[in-house]
Amino acid sequence: MIKTIKIVIIEDEVAAARRLQRILQETGIQHEVVAVLESVEDSINYFKFGKIPDLILSDIHLADGNCFNIFRQVEIKIPVIFTTAFDQYAINAFKVNSIDYLLKPIQVDELRAAINKFQDHQSDSLLFEKLKPYYPEANTYQQRFVIKSGNKYNILDTNNIALCYADEKLVFALSYDHQKAILDFSLDKLEQLLDPSQFFRINRKVIIHVKSIKNMALYFRGKIKLGLSVNTDIETIVSAERADDFKSWIEKGTI
């Protein structure tokens, strides 16, 4: 039996939302549009309290801001196909479960191929779940660290770490809320502990989280200079020898 894909559309232009629904019909793929959301605020409220769909089709520029604000405020693990007139947000899109990035005007064949990619991904995930009992438990990556702060201990979630860096003989973690903590691990050990789909060692002294990357620029001798979403004096330059692996990591989620 073919499963009906439950889809949420995030689009602030009524005409564009209607056109997208018409193109969805033309793909011939069995689906149901369960909601059309017009703003960041509506979307946040929906995903906090509404039903969870199978797939999101989202524009980027909405009436009350950038759609990435939704993903910063609500944890969303649902695959997303971005539908936009702008091509400069592709890097940001790869950070939030993007499975495709379609430029307007969207064509039927493009949307059909994107949804087919989603269905293939779902099939692979289901197969993995069925086979998982027959294989040894997969390696689990570090979820949190216990941090000493004076005479107290605090918990630092790894998904709140923007970067880790070595400074002389110490290794620090800088969080997204700009808290700095000393870690009792070397960078070599952290590379083994942290999820490689989320963290990448850009040079000998720095490991960064994918969501901390704000922009990238070509640098001399094949290096890549990164601008981060957190304020730091740490130099975040991808070394020339790691540049190709870094670009592959950005595109595929892991190397």
Q: Is residue 174 domain-shared with residue 129, that is, in the same domain?
A: no
User: Confidence class of residue 133 from pLDDT cuts 50, 70 and 90?
Assistant: low
Both structure tokens of 251: 């595109």
User: Confidence class of residue 73 from pLDDT cuts 50, 70 and 90?
Assistant: confident
65-74, 96-105, 132-141, 211-220: the lowest-pLDDT one: 132-141
0.75 surpassed by pTM: no
At residue 253, the pLDDT reads 60
Q: How far apart are CA 47 and CA 45, in angstroms?
A: 6
Q: How far apart are CA 195 and CA 39, in angstroms?
A: 32
Q: Is residue 124 domain-shared with residue 15, that is, in the same domain?
A: yes
DSSP E strands, 118-210: 144-149, 152-157, 161-167, 170-175, 180-183, 199-201, 206-209
Residues of the chain above pLDDT 70, percent: 91
> For residue 125, is it within any domain?
yes
Q: Is residue 110 domain-shared with residue 156, that is, in the same domain?
A: no
What's the domain range around 244?
144-252
224: domain CATH number? 2.40.50.40
Neighbours of 206 (CB within 10 A): 21
> For residue 138, is it within any domain?
no
Q: 3-class SS at 37?
A: strand
pLDDT mean across residues, the chain? 87
Q: Is residue 65 domain-shared with residue 180, that is, in the same domain?
A: no
Q: Is residue 58 domain-shared with residue 123, that is, in the same domain?
A: yes
Q: Is residue 155 domain-shared with residue 209, that is, in the same domain?
A: yes
Contacts for 199 with CB less than 8 Å, ≥ 6 apart: 161, 164, 190, 191, 207, 208, 209, 210
* Domain C-terminal end among 133, 153, 171: 133
Domain count, the chain: 2
- 38-63 mean pLDDT: 90
10: domain CATH number? 3.40.50.2300
